[in-house]
Amino acid sequence: MPLLVTPLLASGTMSTVDRLRAAGCVFAEDEAALLHEAATSPQHLEEMVAQRVQGLPLEHVVGWAEFCGRRITVIPGVFVPRHRTELLADLAVELKPGLAVDLCCGSGAIGAVIRHRLPETTVYAADIDPVAVECARKNLTNVFEGDLFDALPTHIKGHIDVVVANVPYVPTDDIQFMPPEARDFEARIALDGGTDGLDLLRRVAAQATQWLRPGGHLMSETSERQAPRALAAFTAAGLDAKLVTSEDTTAVVGRT
User: Cα separation of 210 and 160, whole Å?
Assistant: 10
- Percentage of the chain modeled with pLDDT above 70: 95
- Percentage of the chain modeled with pLDDT above 90: 88
Quick one: average pLDDT of 152-166? Answer: 98
Tell me: do 134 and 181 sit in the same domain.
yes
Tell me: do 226 and 169 sit in the same domain.
yes
Tell me: do 22 and 111 sit in the same domain.
no
Residue range of the domain that includes 31:
16-54
**Total domains present in the chain:** 2
| 232 domain-assigned | yes
Q: What is the pLDDT of residue 23?
A: 85
Tell me: do 34 and 142 sit in the same domain.
no
Please determine, for residue 237, whether its predicted confidence score (pLDDT) is greater than 70.
yes
| 68 domain-assigned | no
- The model's pLDDT over 17-69, given as tens digits with 9 standing for 90+, comes to 999 998 888 899 999 999 999 999 999 999 999 999 998 999 999 999 999 99
- The model's pLDDT over 98-146, given as tens digits with 9 standing for 90+, comes to 999 999 999 999 999 999 999 999 999 999 999 999 999 999 999 999 9
pLDDT band at 12 (very low <50, low <70, confident <90, very high): very low
Tell me: do 34 and 90 sit in the same domain.
no
Tell me: do 36 and 146 sit in the same domain.
no
Q: How far is CA 187 from the centre of its chain?
A: 12
